[in-house]
Amino acid sequence: MSARCPRCRQGALFSGLLDVNPECPSCGLDLRAHDAGDGPAIFVIFIVGALSVIGALSLEALFEPPYWLHFLIWPIVVIGLTLALLRPLKAKFVDIQYRRRSTAL
Ligand SMILES: [Zn+2]
């Protein structure tokens, strides 16, 4: 799941943290039509939500830490996982859209 152009695999896919370049700087592929929409965010919500709930319940059941420790740990875990997963998933969605549209034509 690289953040590279789905056609040439050379040009940068993103111009910012999550902004898709309007066109590939390497091969000129028009990337404006490949909008991932809310798809990556939904997957991140499901994955991070499940992992954080399972983690919080497991931590509580095993060690019974004070609640302030939960308030310290879980926001960091949730924000970290979200930032780690959102960009690669968005790149994968753009890649899948490019592949499916390219074969359909
Ligand atoms: Zn390219």
Sequence spans of domains, the chain: 1-105
Supply the pLDDT for residue 36: 85
**Residue of 101 and 45 predicted with greater confidence:** 45
Predicted TM-score (pTM) of this structure: 0.84
State the Cα–Cα distance between residues 14 and 79, nearest whole angstrom: 20
Whether 43 has a pLDDT exceeding 70, the answer reads yes
Average confidence score pLDDT of the chain: 92
* For ion ligand 1, residues whose CB falls within 5 Å: 5, 7-8, 11, 24, 26-27, 29
Whether 103 has a pLDDT exceeding 70, the answer reads no
Confidence tier at 76 by pLDDT (50, 70, 90): very high
Angle at 39 between CA 41 and CA 43, to 5 degrees: 55
Distance 5 CA to ligand 1 centre (A): 4
How far lies 104's CA from each of 4, 5, 18, 32, 65, in Å?
22, 19, 27, 18, 54
Is the distance from CB of 61 to CB of 44 less than 8 angstroms?
no
Supply the pLDDT for residue 26: 95
